[in-house]
Chain A
Amino acid sequence: MAANDTTQEHRLPCGRLVEDVFDDLDTGRPNAHNEECEHCRSVVRGLAALEVATEALLRDPAEPPPGVVGRVMNAVRAELRRGDTLPLPAELGPAEISVHAVAAVLRYAADSVPGVWAQRCRIALDPESPDTFDVEMSLSLRYGTGPLEAILDQVRRRVAVAMVGQIGPRAGRIDLTLADVWDEGAR
């Protein structure tokens, strides 16, 4: 911050500070000087013009050029490490699947339960059984959605079905944690 930015005041040629004129306006204090002084009247006019301009700014139709989202996402995609992969069960042939892809499918399955949003989703090969993936998922629940146990059971079921039906391996342990709540009315 430049030094003058913190010390500079706006003294008018009549000797009053611009800030004083604002204070008079804000508090509705009548001030004979303001009404007669050319400089103070000019500040009052300026403030009125500023209000009109601010209103225009809030309705500013300036939109980002089309394609910004696409260009950002292309750059992001170029940077994204494909990340870890997990081997698929042997009967599906020698193949690997990205954990990002598995997580996306499982989050989608969890989201299909009303009031549930999946957040984190970690997947690991079950150490005991190579055709089984274990899942750790955190959830955000709509405020007032309940009962909790029934909802978690439903999420577990849908995640397990999506795992075997859409990816192939069986779902092993499915650890769910409640990380957040969201409120429909608040948005």
Chain B
Amino acid sequence: MTAVDTARYPLGGPGDVPLDDPTLVERAREGDLAAFETLVARYQRRIYQLALRMTADRAAAEDITQDVFLTAWRQLPAIREGAAFGGWLYKIATNRCLTVLARRRPTEELDEHLPARNPAPNPETDPQRATERAAVLAALTGALQRLTPEQRAVWLLREAHDKSYEEIAQVVDATPQAVRGRLARARGQLAELMSEWR
């Protein structure tokens, strides 16, 4: 948990449990900024990583992340089920990414060496393995950019965000069967692209 939770809600005791999404959403709807801040802190990493892998562009991912939470704030009165907050955020984020990508000129330069350019602190102790990991991640990032944005979204939601077919279907407005088909094709294409990687 983040410092935000404990600073605002210092309930104390070992059995202390972070407030759940429905409670935070109810509070945020009534203008409780601390509750909304806790939600932002809870989801920002997931939304940023989705946007980063969708766009392969850090600045765009940061803008998208901020837009997503601001949109969420404005639309809070419309959300019926607080428990659905996470899925609802993913939907806003996926749509936002697709809009940004549709606007992008085809010649626009991408952050192609994305993972390599930012060798983030890695718990890997073996430097060779860390390098390999960064290289394979760079290859995957490149391969993902060759899928259609819609296929990329579906694959990322399933593999990187552990969403079920039903959850993904809600996010992309499709049937679970269509999601299954899209995923199979994305996986096939990625395997083909990755087979060139050594």
Contact = CB atoms under 8 A, between A and B. Distances in A.
A52 to B, nearest CB: 5
Contact of A53 (B19, B121, B139): B139
B159 interface: yes
A77 B37 CA distance: 11
A33 interface: no
Contacts of A45: 195
Contacts of A5: 148, 150-151, 182, 185
A168 B172 CA distance: 50
B41 interface: yes
Interface residues of B, number: 72
Contacts of B20: 117, 140, 182, 187
Nearest to B189: A10
B120 A63 contact: yes
A187 B18 contact: yes
Contacts of A118: 23, 27
Contacts of A158: none
A103 B159 contact: no
Contacts of A122: 30
Contacts of B4: 69
Interface of B: 4, 9, 11, 13, 15, 17-20, 22-23, 26-27, 29-34, 36-37, 40-41, 44-45, 48-49, 52-53, 58, 61-62, 65-66, 69-70, 73-74, 115, 118, 120-122, 133-134, 136-137, 139-140, 143, 148, 150-151, 159-160, 174, 178, 181-182, 184-185, 187-197
Interface stretch (A54-62, A88-96, A125-133, A148-156): A54-62
A50 interface: yes
Interface of A: 1-2, 5-6, 8-10, 17-19, 22, 42-43, 45-47, 49-50, 52-54, 56-65, 68-69, 71-73, 75-77, 79-81, 83, 100, 103-104, 107-108, 111-112, 114, 117-122, 138, 140, 142, 179-180, 182, 184, 187
A72 B137 contact: no
B185 A57 contact: no
B86 to A, nearest CB: 13
